[in-house]
Structure 1
Amino acid sequence: MKFKRVTLDNLASEHICCALTDKKGETCVASKKAWLSQRLGEGLVFDKLDVRGKVFIEYIPAEKAWCPITANHYMFINCFWVSGQYKGQGYANLLLERCLADAKAKGKQGLVVLSSEKKMPFLSDPKYLKYKGFQIADQAPPYYELLYLPFSPQASVPQFKACVKNGPIDEEGWVVYYTNQCPHTEKYVPLLIDHLKSKKLAGKAVKIETRDQAQKAPNPFTTYALFYNGQFITNEILTEKSFDKLFTKLNPR
């Protein structure tokens, strides 16, 4: 099978791998494609296997990343996903090799990626990345790890910005920060806010719409971060059912 690069010329017609399949999915995918169309002009690369499946890597110069980090002259892996029937066939290795070669050709110091102490939903697998040579550059509570793969011993070490290490935010009730980096957020964030209202729970959504806002966000995973009474709760994009399970866990009778 061949790999394909998503460009401004084929973005409108190309399957972007993490597309939703229900009727609301069309709007959600459009939101992701609109976000991508702006980032492609800033150096973002979206490489995928030429199939309708989740086999892709998405990366961008770290100075343009929607993540509160300092990683000058690095390439930031924004999303890296191989799933379903395509697992175990070497596609992850091939995608990472393409990213490595591109970053070196563009004169970068190395690769950097947001991960976690153990595998978490929507975050790159730390076990795989460390097996491929990535090291811990920095950490942020409660479980985030900034992993990097330098191309030389002289390469600088990336860091999280102070805004993600400051602890609780000054907000009451349920607050979700999100962007359109993932098509799922445009569907599930409004559903969550409506669900909170139906349960008479205080809640609001804060949409991050610029890179500057993302660089100042209170959580490293700007795609989706849910807080309750100032405390970070999860980066997992929740359905109404999964929220109810979480709520019961946090409020046992």
Structure 2
Amino acid sequence: MNIINIDSSNIDKEHICCAISDKKGESCVSSKKNWMKEQFENGLVFKRLDAKGKVFIEYIPAENAWCPIVAEGYIFINCFWVSGQFKGQGYANKLLEECINDAKLQNKQGLVILSSSKKMPFLSDPKYLKYKGFRICDTAAPYYELMYLPLKENAIEPKFKDCCKSGSIDEDGMVLYYTNQCPHTDKYVPLIAETAKSKGKSIKTVKIESREQAQNASAPFTTYSFFYDGKFITNEIFSESKFAKFLEEKGF
């Protein structure tokens, strides 16, 4: 069970799991890698299984997280993924253990992670997290849960910032906020913009390009948050077909 650390010394030659099975998306992987390169100096850690598969954990000091939370002294788990044939073999436990050990070495208060009231795409599984001792410390509309694993007896509970708790924005129409934390955004954001245009509609796309912007975002999941007429709709990255179905449901 060999774990590889991806850092500035090897990121150009190692795969980062996210789009490994999506050959059409290989050109977008560079957007994610460039984002990672910029975050390494802020304490970003990326560990993956030495295998051709999606088995990895990515984390960063919570003060530098691209997430609107208050969690001083914590490690924020940005992405935690074990997929397909690799499930049920102890890899998730091993990766989480690596993160916990790093947090202890840095004398952190604990770990904090974004999850949901039930399993949602692109968010960590709440059932597994609770099994590993994580507790809910805050919630945000419509289904977000902030969970933490304290490593100190008097650890202060993390919380969401008020800016992201309502699940709404003061804008009509279709508005999409996204970052390059996921390679799939660079691939699919232009595609759904073109799909909207083909229907005679427009979508406002807002790329979050700094930690400061992300930490004051209107939704907890800054990687991808889609709103319609001021209401949060989904954090799941729309494929062309799913977006076309959404437009059809709205009568477009």
Calculate the TM-score normalised by the size of structure 2: 0.97
**2:148 aligns to what?**
148
Residues 141 and 166, structure 2, Cα contact 8 Å, conserved in 1: no
**1:164 aligns to what?**
164
For 1:202, the aligned partner's letter is S
Separation in structure 1 between the aligned mates of residue 60 and residue 41 of structure 2, nearest angstrom? 10
Could you say what the CA RMSD is over the residues aligned between the two structures, in angstroms? 1.4
Separation in structure 2 between the aligned mates of residue 49 and residue 109 of structure 1, nearest angstrom? 26
Matches within 5 A, 1:57-206: 57-206=57-206
Separation in structure 2 between the aligned mates of residue 12 and residue 167 of structure 1, nearest angstrom? 37
**2:51 aligns to what?**
51
Residues 135 and 149, structure 2, Cα contact 8 Å, conserved in 1: yes
For 2:228, the aligned partner's letter is Y
| CA separation of 1:251 and 1:143: change in aligned 2, threshold 3 A | farther
Residues 20 and 28, structure 1, Cα contact 8 Å, conserved in 2: no
| CA separation of 1:178 and 1:92: change in aligned 2, threshold 3 A | same
Give the C-alpha shift of residue 243 in structure 1.
1.2
| CA separation of 1:218 and 1:204: change in aligned 2, threshold 3 A | same
Separation in structure 1 between the aligned mates of residue 14 and residue 239 of structure 2, nearest angstrom? 27
Separation in structure 2 between the aligned mates of residue 158 and residue 250 of structure 1, nearest angstrom? 37
Residue 107 of structure 1 aligns to a residue whose secondary structure is: coil
Separation in structure 2 between the aligned mates of residue 180 and residue 145 of structure 1, nearest angstrom? 22
For 1:220, the aligned partner's letter is P
Residues 11 and 33, structure 2, Cα contact 8 Å, conserved in 1: yes
Matches within 5 A, 1:234-253: 234-251=234-251
For 2:104, the aligned partner's letter is K
Q: Structure 1, residues 51-80: CA drift from partner, whole Å, max 9, x if none?
A: 121000000000000000000000000000
**1:19 aligns to what?**
19
Matched, 1:216 2:229: no
Q: Structure 1, residues 121-163: CA drift from partner, whole Å, max 9, x if none?
A: 0000000000100000100000000000001230000000010
Residues 64 and 211, structure 1, Cα contact 8 Å, conserved in 2: yes
Separation in structure 2 between the aligned mates of residue 249 and residue 194 of structure 1, nearest angstrom? 18
Give the C-alpha shift of residue 225 in structure 1.
0.4
For 2:198, the aligned partner's letter is S
Residues 174 and 228, structure 1, Cα contact 8 Å, conserved in 2: yes
Residue 222 of structure 1 aligns to a residue whose secondary structure is: coil
For 1:118, the aligned partner's letter is K
For 2:38, the aligned partner's letter is Q
For 1:70, the aligned partner's letter is V
